[in-house]
Amino acid sequence: MAALCEEFTLCGLVAGVGRGLLGLEPGLGSDRVLLTDRGRTATLYQVSDQKPLGCWSVKQDQTITCPAVCNFETGEYIAVHDDKVLRIWKDEDVNLEKVFKATLTAEVHRIHSLPHTEPLVLFRGGAVRTLDALLAAPQQEIENVISDEVIRWSEAFMETEEPVLIFITEKNGNYFVYVQKVNPDILHKYKLQQEESSSPLSFTAYTKNKSLTLLCLYSNRCVYKVLIPLQQCVPEEEQILSKSLLLQSVVSDTVLKGASLAILDKDHVAILGCLDSSPNVAKECLSIWNTKFQTLQTSKELPQGTSGQLWCYGEKFFLTHGKVLTVIVYKCETSSLAAAVGKLKDTQTLGMRTVSSCVNWNMLQEEELASPRKQQSVTAKTESKRTLRSRRNNVAKVQRDALTVEQLLSDIKDSSQNDIEEELRQFLSNSQVSDFQATVGYVITGLVNRCKTEPMFYPRNCLVQLIQTQGLSYSLCPDLMAVALEKTDVHLLQLCLQQFPDIPEAVTCACLKAFLSINDDSLEGTNVNLDSVINYIDITHNKKVEKQTETVQNGFSSELMEEDSYNVQLTQKPQAMDTEELCPVGPQKAALLNAILHSAYSETFLLPHLKDLSAQHVILFLQYLQYLYVKFSEKVSFTDLPGMLSPTINQIMDWMCLLLDAHFSVVVMLPEAKGLLSSLHKFVRAQVRFYSELNKIEGSLQELQRIKHQKDFGLYSIEMLELV
Amino acid sequence: MGEFQVHRVRFFAYVPAGIRCLAHSARSDRLALARTDGALELYNFAANYFQEKGIPGHETRSIEALCWAAGDRLFGAGLSGDISEYDLEKLRVKYSLDGFGGPIWSLAADAHGTQLAVGCEDGSVKLFQILPDKIQFERSLDRQKGRILSLSWHPSGTRIAVGSIDLLRVFDVRSGHSIQRILVDRCLQGPQSRECVVWSVAFLSDGTIVSADSAGKVQFWDSEKGTLLETHPVSSSAVLSLAVCETEDSIVVGTSEGAVYQFQLLPLKWGSAESQWVRTKPFQHHTHDVRAVAHSATALISGGLDAQLVIRPLMEKVHGKSYDAALRKFTYPHRRLVSCAKKARLLLFQFPQHLELWKLGATSATGKDGDVLPVSRAPEHLLQLKSKGPEHICCSCVSPCGSWVAYSTASRFHLHRVRYENDRVSIKRVAAMPKLQGSAHQLLCSADSSRLLVASDQGSVHILELLEPGGCRHLQTLRPNSESMEAVYLLAVSADGDWLAAAGGDWAINIYSLRHFKPHCTVPAYNCAVTALAIHPVTNNLVIAHSDQQVFEFSIPSREYTAWSRKVQQHGLHRGWLERDTPITHITFNPKEPAHILLHDTHMFCILDKSLPLPDAATSLMNQITLKQLSEKARRGHVHAFKICKKYRPLLFMELLDEGSLVVVERPVMDIKTQLPPPVQQKKFGT
| Whole-number Å distance between alpha carbons of A654 and B236 | 47
Q: Who among B9, B367, B624 is closest to A720 (CB)?
A: B367
Out of A115-129, A459-473, A551-565, B471-485, pick the least confident: A551-565
Q: What are phi and psi of A608, to 5 degrees?
A: -60, -35
Out of A201-215, B463-477, B520-534, pick the least confident: A201-215
Q: How confident is the model at residue B453 (pLDDT cuts 50, 70, 90)?
A: very high
Give how far A556 is from chain B: nearest CA, Å. Answer: 50
- pLDDT, one tens digit per residue, over A211-248 is 788 888 888 778 888 888 776 665 556 677 777 777 77
Out of A554-558, B30-34, B50-54, pick the least confident: A554-558
| Whole-number Å distance between alpha carbons of B577 and B571 | 13
Q: How far apart are the first and last CA of chain B?
A: 59
Q: Output the pLDDT for position B491.
A: 95
Give how far A713 is from chain B: nearest CA, Å. Answer: 9
pLDDT at B297 over 70: yes
Q: How confident is the model at residue A148 (pLDDT cuts 50, 70, 90)?
A: confident
Q: Find chain B residues with C-beta within 8 A of A724's C-beta.
A: 1-2, 624, 627-628, 635, 639, 643
Q: How confident is the model at residue A561 (pLDDT cuts 50, 70, 90)?
A: very low
Q: Find chain A residues with C-beta within 8 A of B373's C-beta.
A: 717-720
Report, as an integer, the average pLDDT of A571-579: 42
Q: Who among B6, B9, B627 is closest to A721 (CB)?
A: B6
Other residues' Cβ atoms within 10 Å of the Cβ of residue A226:
20
| Whole-number Å distance between alpha carbons of A133 and A118 | 9
Q: Would the CB atoms of A721 and B647 count as touching at under 8 Å?
A: yes
pLDDT at B624 over 80: yes
Q: Would the CB atoms of A723 and B9 count as touching at under 8 Å?
A: no
User: What does the CA dihedral A688, A691, A692, A696 come to, rounded to 10 degrees?
Assistant: 170
CA-based radius of gyration for chain A: 31
Out of A554-568, B199-213, B282-296, pick the least confident: A554-568
User: What does the CA dihedral A358, A361, A363, A366 come to, rounded to 10 degrees?
Assistant: 130
- pLDDT, one tens digit per residue, over A161-187 is 788 888 998 888 888 888 888 877 888
CA-based radius of gyration for chain B: 27
Q: Would the CB atoms of B375 and A718 count as touching at under 8 Å?
A: yes
| Whole-number Å distance between alpha carbons of A546 and A582 | 9
Contact A353, A642 (CB under 8 A): yes
Out of A55-59, A443-447, B314-318, pick the least confident: B314-318
Q: Which of A456, A364, A453 is nearest to A416 (CA)?
A: A456
Q: Which of residues 6-25 of B touch A (CB under 8 A)?
A: 6-11
Contact A566, A574 (CB under 8 A): no
Contact A614, A621 (CB under 8 A): no
Give how far B293 is from chain A: nearest CA, Å. Answer: 35
| Whole-number Å distance between alpha carbons of B391 and B410 | 7
- SS3 track for A218-229: ECCCEEEEEEEE
- Enumerate residues 6+ apart whose C-beta is below 8 A from A687: A361, A633
Q: Would the CB atoms of A721 and B662 count as touching at under 8 Å?
A: yes
**Global confidence as pTM:** 0.56
Maximum mean pLDDT: which of A298-307, A560-569, B510-519? B510-519
Q: Does B607 touch chain A (CB under 8 A)?
A: yes
Q: Would the CB atoms of B375 and A720 count as touching at under 8 Å?
A: no
Give how far A121 is from chain B: nearest CA, Å. Answer: 54
Maximum mean pLDDT: which of A311-325, A370-384, B22-36? B22-36
| Pairing assessment for the beta strands A186-192 and A239-241 based on DSSP bridges | parallel
Report, as an integer, the average pLDDT of B19-46: 94
Q: What are phi and psi of A412, to 5 degrees?
A: -60, -35
Q: How far apart are the first and last CA of chain A?
A: 45
- pLDDT, one tens digit per residue, over B332-360 is 999 999 999 999 999 999 999 999 999 99
pLDDT at A353 over 60: no
Q: Is A161 helix (H, G, I), strand (E, B) or coil?
A: coil
Q: Is A603 helix (H, G, I), strand (E, B) or coil?
A: helix
Q: Output the pLDDT for position A170.
A: 87
Out of A193-197, A564-568, A604-608, B235-239, pick the least confident: A564-568
Domain-by-domain residue ranges, chain A?
361-455, 478-542+585-666, 545-581+670-709+716-724
Report, as an integer, the average pLDDT of B12-27: 93
Q: Output the pLDDT for position A346.
A: 44
Q: What is the DSSP letter of A668?
A: H
Contact A263, A246 (CB under 8 A): no
Q: How confident is the model at residue A276 (pLDDT cuts 50, 70, 90)?
A: low
Q: Who among B366, B379, B627 is closest to A716 (CB)?
A: B379
Q: Output the pLDDT for position A431.
A: 57
Contact B398, B348 (CB under 8 A): yes
- pLDDT, one tens digit per residue, over B539-577 is 999 999 999 999 999 999 999 999 999 999 999 999 899
Contact A493, A511 (CB under 8 A): yes
| Whole-number Å distance between alpha carbons of A387 and A586 | 16
Q: Which of A114, A31, A113, A28 is nearest to A78 (CA)?
A: A113
Q: Who among A713, A722, A724 is closest to B8 (CB)?
A: A713
Q: How confident is the model at residue B7 (pLDDT cuts 50, 70, 90)?
A: very high
Q: How confident is the model at residue A549 (pLDDT cuts 50, 70, 90)?
A: very low
Task: Tell me the angle at which helices A436-453 and A417-429 cross, rounded to the nearest 10 degrees.
Answer: 170
Contact B238, B197 (CB under 8 A): yes
| Whole-number Å distance between alpha carbons of A222 and A234 | 31
Q: Who among A717, A719, A723 is closest to B2 (CB)?
A: A723
Q: Output the pLDDT for position A365.
A: 47
Q: Find chain B residues with C-beta within 8 A of A714's C-beta.
A: 10
Cα B2 to the chain's mean position, in Å? 33
Q: How confident is the model at residue A379 (pLDDT cuts 50, 70, 90)?
A: very low
pLDDT at B538 over 60: yes
- Enumerate residues 6+ apart whose C-beta is below 8 A from A250: A221, A275
- Enumerate residues 6+ apart whose C-beta is below 8 A from A98: none
Beta pairing partners, B310: B302, B329
Q: What are phi and psi of A543, to 5 degrees?
A: -65, -40
Indicate the helix (H) or strand (E) that contains B153. Answer: strand B150-153
pLDDT at B496 over 80: yes
Signed CA dihedral, A597, A598, A603, A606: sign only: negative
In A137-193, which residue ranges form alpha helices assigned H by DSSP?
Answer: none
Beta pairing partners, A660: none
Q: How confident is the model at residue B586 (pLDDT cuts 50, 70, 90)?
A: very high
Q: Find chain A residues with C-beta within 8 A of B643's C-beta.
A: 723-724
pLDDT at A594 over 80: yes
Contact B160, B207 (CB under 8 A): no
Mean pLDDT in chain B?
91
Q: Would the CB atoms of A724 and B361 count as touching at under 8 Å?
A: no
Maximum mean pLDDT: which of A236-250, A327-341, B657-671? B657-671
Q: Output the pLDDT for position A453.
A: 85
Q: Output the pLDDT for position A572.
A: 41
Give how far A701 is from chain B: nearest CA, Å. Answer: 24
- Enumerate residues 6+ apart whose C-beta is below 8 A from A525: none
Task: Tell me the angle at which helices A505-517 and A615-634 cross, rounded to the nearest 10 degrees.
Answer: 90
Q: Which of B372, B396, B399 is nearest to B384 (CA)?
A: B396
A-B C-beta contacts closer than 8 Å = 79
pLDDT at A563 over 70: no
| Whole-number Å distance between alpha carbons of B677 and A519 | 80
Q: Output the pLDDT for position B462.
A: 94
E strand intervals along A235-339? 239-241, 243-248, 256-265, 268-275, 283-290, 295-301, 306-313, 316-321, 324-332
Q: Does B645 touch chain A (CB under 8 A)?
A: yes
Q: Which of A239, A192, A629, A519 is nearest to A398 (CA)?
A: A239
- Enumerate residues 6+ apart whose C-beta is below 8 A from B571: B614, B616
Q: Find chain B residues with C-beta within 8 A of A721's C-beta.
A: 3-4, 6, 369-370, 645, 647, 662
pLDDT at A114 over 90: no
| Whole-number Å distance between alpha carbons of B664 and B658 | 13
- Among chain A residues, the shortest Cα distance to B363 is held by A718
Contact A297, A289 (CB under 8 A): yes
| ipTM, interface predicted TM-score of the complex | 0.85
Q: Who among B2, B372, B607 is closest to A719 (CB)?
A: B372
Q: How confident is the model at residue A521 (pLDDT cuts 50, 70, 90)?
A: confident
Contact A185, A179 (CB under 8 A): no
Q: Does B372 touch chain A (CB under 8 A)?
A: yes
Q: Would the CB atoms of B373 and A719 count as touching at under 8 Å?
A: yes
- pLDDT, one tens digit per residue, over B87-144 is 999 999 999 999 999 999 999 999 988 999 999 999 999 999 999 989 999 999 999 8
| Whole-number Å distance between alpha carbons of B440 and A26 | 87
Q: Is A77 helix (H, G, I), strand (E, B) or coil?
A: strand
The CA distances from residue A436 to A413, A440, A441, A469, B316, in Å, are 20, 6, 9, 10, 57
pLDDT at B529 over 90: yes
Q: Output the pLDDT for position B334.
A: 92
Contact B56, B341 (CB under 8 A): no
Q: Would the CB atoms of A718 and B4 count as touching at under 8 Å?
A: no
Q: What are phi and psi of B612, to 5 degrees?
A: -100, 155
Q: Who among A718, A722, A723 is closest to B361 (CB)?
A: A718
| Whole-number Å distance between alpha carbons of A17 and A321 | 9
Q: Does B624 touch chain A (CB under 8 A)?
A: yes
pLDDT at A395 over 60: no
Which one of B1, B358, B359, B369 makes the best mutation probe of the A interface by having the most chain A beta carbons within 10 Å? B369
Report, as an integer, the average pLDDT of A122-129: 88
Q: Does B361 touch chain A (CB under 8 A)?
A: yes
Q: Does B371 touch chain A (CB under 8 A)?
A: yes
The CA distances from residue A257 to A173, A197, A289, in Å, are 16, 14, 18
Mean pLDDT in chain A?
76
Write down how long chain A is: 724
Give how far B360 is from chain A: nearest CA, Å. Answer: 9
pLDDT at A359 over 70: no
| Whole-number Å distance between alpha carbons of B97 and B116 | 13
Cα B177 to the chain's mean position, in Å? 41
Q: What is the DSSP letter of B177?
A: -
| Whole-number Å distance between alpha carbons of A113 and A91 | 17
Q: Give the strand order in the sheet containing B328-330.
A: B292-295, B299-303, B309-313, B328-330
Q: Would the CB atoms of A717 and B369 count as touching at under 8 Å?
A: no
Indicate the helix (H) or strand (E) that contains A429. Answer: helix A417-429
Q: Find chain A residues with C-beta within 8 A of B10's C-beta.
A: 713-716
Q: Output the pLDDT for position B78.
A: 93
> Peptide bond preceding A478: is omega within 30 degrees of 0, i.e. cis?
no
Q: Does B375 touch chain A (CB under 8 A)?
A: yes
The single-letter code of the amino acid at A30 is S
Q: Output the pLDDT for position B223.
A: 93
Beta pairing partners, A175: A170
Q: How confident is the model at residue A360 (pLDDT cuts 50, 70, 90)?
A: low
Task: Name the region of A161 (left: φ>0; alpha: ψ -120 to 50; beta: rest).
Answer: left
Q: Output the pLDDT for position B679.
A: 82
